[in-house]
Each structure stands twice: as C-alpha cells, then as structure tokens.
Amino acid sequence: MPDERALEFKARVFKVLGDPNRLRIVDFLRDGERCQCEIIPMLDQSQPTVSRHLRLLEEAGLVRSRRDGNRMLYQVVDEGVFEIVDILGDDLMRILSHGLMSKLAPI
C-alpha cells in the first residue's frame, strides 16, 4: 500500500500544476532563471495574480526564488520538474482524448 504522505504530496504537486497559468510559468522557466517582471507580461496578468501563482509553485517545492536588488528571480528547483510537466504530453493527451478531453468544449 502506498505511503499516505507520499500520495498527499503527489496530489498537491498535481493540484498546483493543474492550473494552465502555472504550467505556462514552469514552461517559461525552461530557459533558466527569470525575473517576475518578465513573467507578468508573458502571462498578461496582474502582479498580485502572478505572485500568487509563483508562491504556490514555491510552496509545492517546484520553484525557488532569490532577490537580486529590487528584482525577484525564479527558477525551477530541479530539471525533473520538466519531466513531470512533460508527462502531460502528446501520449497522455492521446490516451485522455477518449475520456475527459472528449467531453471538454474545444479551446
């Protein structure tokens, strides 16, 4: 039987990654460390909204931040985070297209 704490942790990570904007942030960080001032226009959302997304990613242990003068810089804590996100790639989408995805309205 799986460890309950491990299951809760995995569920929390997938819940945090369940938001399209947070997935966009993680994908944006593939090229390395980014300033929040770069993430805000990329998402086209307000600073408080972007800060909330970044905080949730940090709390889940997926992203870390550091201050550089008056700027906050963000990066993914480990390249393995991209592997987690990539699991939601073409193969999984193909599998899901017969279930949940087929019931969703087209984007």
Which is nearest to 25 in space by CA: 66, 56, 70?
A: 56
70 within a domain of the structure (yes/no)? yes
Asked whether 76 and 69 are in contact (CB, 8 A), the reply is no
Domains in the chain: how many in total? 1
**Inside any domain, residue 106:** no
The answer to whether residue 27 sits within a structural domain is yes
Q: Domain range spanning residue 14? A: 4-78
Is there a domain that residue 42 lies in? yes
Q: Residue range 74-79: average pLDDT?
A: 96
Over range 49-68, report the average pLDDT: 96
Q: What is the CATH number of the domain that holds 21?
A: 1.10.10.10
Q: pLDDT: is 90 or 63 the higher one?
A: 63
What tens digit of pLDDT does each residue of 2-58 get?
Answer: 789 989 988 888 899 889 999 999 999 999 999 999 999 999 999 999 999 999 999
Q: Is residue 38 part of a domain?
A: yes
